[in-house]
Amino acid sequence: MENKTHTLTLEDTKRISATGIEGVRDFSPTQFTLVYAGGKIVVGGADMKMVGFSKQTGAFSASGSITSIKYGAGGGLKTKLLK
């Protein structure tokens, strides 16, 4: 399996950017979920807006008032089927 790298940068709790993102599962002004090779990232806050996402490059960015970032394992149907 190919080792995919991932980075996450938070600037002054106002802007978040990430690389190695495979998809955006959901997005609202208060919470969004990003999918990467290691699982998922759930970001909470207020007045959040997606600034950009490129599925080709894996680059993602958003702005707003970011109050939490939580990493979680994949655990989805795809993961269970491929075990």
pLDDT tens digits, 18-37:
999 999 999 999 999 999 99
What region does 20 belong to: left with phi over 0, alpha with psi -120 to 50, or beta?
left
Q: Which domain holds residue 22?
A: 7-73
Higher pLDDT, 72 or 15: 15
Residue 64 belongs to some domain of the structure: yes
Residue 23 belongs to some domain of the structure: yes
Residue 1 belongs to some domain of the structure: no
Element (H, E) at 78: helix 77-81
Residue 79 belongs to some domain of the structure: no
Percent of the chain with pLDDT over 90: 78
Q: How many CA atoms lie within 13 A of 14 on its CB side?
A: 1
Residue 43 belongs to some domain of the structure: yes
Residue 78 belongs to some domain of the structure: no
Backbone φ and ψ of 78, nearest 5°: -60, -45
Q: Look up the pTM and report it.
A: 0.82
CATH number at residue 15: 2.60.40.2000
Residue 46 belongs to some domain of the structure: yes
The number of folded domains in the chain is 1
Element (H, E) at 72: strand 59-72
Give the span between the Cα atoms of 48 and 46, in whole angstroms: 5
pLDDT at residue 8 greater than cutoff 90: yes
